[in-house]
């Protein structure tokens, strides 16, 4: 025996466990007892086929595994091998969850330049575990979710970084009924991949048309109601442009298109409707073409921005108010889910309309889970994710939300500005997201919370929501996706807003870790 084999065998024996009754493997509880987990393809272990040890650990950047999905820089944090490994890991998860030898999973991608290669690698990884993959190609994320729900599939994978810059990419994972595979599940997936705890099998793939069934469903749900209502659409060169513009035409709209040609370099502006600067061209088009409203969508088509007929940007809170008022007119007493960063007007108005406001943490996966827990058919958050469960499936589909708003406007016979004028007037600051190192965020938020809790009522569901009285509040929490903290402020008068902004800023400036307003 040579020296390399000796030391390999020595350390291997220290790590090796077999799947026998007297010696359970070290990953017991994370894999089914009857699941066969094998080494790298083409490798052989001298200790037998039931060995769970590996001569090497797979290099994987842990920072790509975020709270809601997987994201990173293409070519650096994310490579084709990364996608292949995640495909093997998630395919193994679906084998266990479905208890099937060949679970069926839908696979789609956004319009980023690197998405086709990453999609191919993901396909290889999924098929290596025995999955049957329905390939829907370049399509918005909601069509992936729609296919899961209407076909009763075991899961879905969307290659996308949503609204992130062009150099980024990522993965959104779903299980049955298009429930997000997020939070601790994503961390468990990371650990599974690091341990190479894969299930092997022989899978297959087939091309699948997701668009035609989606159009047919929307036509049955909404019909052609709009009667040539002029509508402007800006998809920021994201993947949603061709599909969503055509869907608006099917609904009877006269459509004015902006940047609807998919281009993964995003040459005109970021595909992020939550940023006001990305809506300038849409505002101009709405007023110039005398549109009833303008709708904007993010890079993968699951977030909505709204501009009224006067060219005024309407907040996500106002969009949710429009949807909630309409929904509760048919469903008195039902819950509506919003987040700790939502306007106080949502709480008061939902109650006034006979509903039950439910508050949850910020993040679309938290909204989804709260809706499931409370049996809600409507939810939303500030980033523009809206979840419509009435006569639909309850996942975040920005086009369905937009069509519901259009139908509300058409039925009311009033413009969006008039409908929103009936809501309470509040004054808000745009969300601030100053830099704060990831390793410091929890401590900083804890100290800020402790300070304000001595003087004001504070809710600590997600960071701190500080009640300054008279409808004024501040929300301070740590970001789940970036090295920063989030600051949201609201009041019923400009003077009160300025007052709480001063108080909050003074306290945050006591923490040098936080780079607020460009401080270095």
The catalytic site residues sit at: 71, 162, 385
CB 359 within 8 A of CB 342: yes
Q: Tell me the C-alpha to C-alpha distance, in Å, between residue 395 and each of 109, 147, 148, 180.
A: 18, 12, 11, 9
Instruction: Give me the phi and psi of 469, to 5 degrees please.
Output: 85, 160
Nearest to 181 by CA among 162, 158, 203: 158
Total count of residues recorded for the chain: 520
Cα–Cα distance for residue pair 167/39, rounded to 1 Å: 33
- 337 three-class SS: strand
Torsion sign, CA atoms 47, 55, 99, 135: negative
Locate the DSSP E strands across 298-445: 304-308, 313-314, 335-339, 356-360, 378-380, 386-388, 427-428
Q: Tell me the C-alpha to C-alpha distance, in Å, between residue 80 and each of 115, 132, 355.
A: 10, 20, 48
Nearest to 310 by CA among 328, 335, 293, 327: 293
């Amino acid at each position: 025996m040579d020296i390399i084999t000796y030391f390999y065998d020595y350390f291997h024996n220290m790590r090796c466990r077999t799947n026998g009754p007297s010696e359970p493997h070290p990953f017991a509880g994370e894999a089914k007892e009857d699941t066969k987990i094998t080494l790298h393809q083409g490798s052989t272990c001298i200790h037998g086929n039931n060995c769970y040890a590996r001569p090497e650990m797979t290099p994987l950047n842990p920072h790509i595994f975020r709270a809601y999905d997987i994201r990173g820089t293409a070519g650096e944090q994310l490579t084709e091998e990364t996608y292949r490994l995640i495909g093997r890991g998630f395919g193994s998860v679906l084998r266990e969850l479905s208890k099937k030898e060949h679970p069926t999973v839908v696979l789609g991608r956004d319009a980023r330049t690197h998405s086709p290669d990453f999609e191919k690698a993901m396909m290889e990884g999924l098929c290596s575990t025995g999955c049957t993959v329905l390939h829907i190609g370049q399509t918005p994320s909601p069509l992936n979710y729609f296919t899961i729900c209407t076909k009763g599939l075991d899961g879905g994978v969307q290659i996308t970084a949503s609204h992130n810059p062009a150099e980024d990419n990522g993965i959104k994972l779903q299980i049955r009924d298009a429930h997000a595979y997020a939070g601790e599940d994503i961390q468990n997936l990371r650990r599974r991949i690091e341990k190479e705890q894969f299930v092997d099998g022989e899978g297959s793939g087939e091309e699948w048309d997701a668009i035609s069934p989606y159009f047919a469903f929307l036509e049955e749900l909404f019909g052609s109601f709009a009667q040539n209502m002029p509508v402007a659409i800006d998809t920021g060169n994201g993947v949603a442009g061709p599909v969503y513009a055509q869907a608006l035409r099917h609904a009877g709209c006269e459509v004015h298109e902006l940047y609807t040609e998919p281009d993964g370099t995003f040459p005109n502006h970021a595909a992020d409707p939550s940023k006001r600067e990305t809506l300038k061209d849409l505002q101009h088009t709405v007023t110039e073409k005398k549109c009833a409203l303008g709708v904007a969508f993010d890079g993968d088509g699951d977030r909505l921005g709204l501009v009224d007929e006067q060219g005024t940007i309407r907040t996500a809170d106002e969009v949710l108010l429009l949807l909630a008022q309409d929904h509760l007119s048919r469903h008195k007493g039902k819950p509506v889910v919003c987040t700790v960063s939502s306007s106080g007007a949502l709480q008061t108005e939902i109650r006034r309309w006979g509903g039950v406001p439910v508050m949850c943490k910020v993040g679309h996966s938290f909204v989804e889970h709260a809706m499931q827990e409370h049996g809600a058919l409507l939810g939303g958050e500030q980033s523009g994710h809206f979840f419509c469960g009435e006569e639909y499936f309850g996942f975040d589909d920005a086009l369905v939300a937009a069509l519901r708003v259009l139908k509300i406007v058409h039925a009311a016979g009033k413009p969006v500005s008039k409908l929103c004028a009936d809501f309470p007037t509040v004054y808000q600051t745009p969300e601030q997201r100053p830099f704060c190192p990831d390793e410091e965020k929890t401590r900083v938020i804890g100290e800020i919370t402790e300070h304000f809790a001595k003087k004001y009522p504070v809710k600590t569901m997600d960071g701190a929501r500080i009640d300054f009285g008279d409808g004024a509040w501040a929300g301070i929490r740590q970001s789940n996706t970036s090295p920063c903290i989030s600051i949201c402020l609201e009041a019923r008068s400009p003077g009160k807003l300025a007052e709480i902004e001063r108080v909050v800023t003074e306290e945050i400036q006591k923490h040098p870790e936080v780079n607020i307003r460009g401080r270095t």
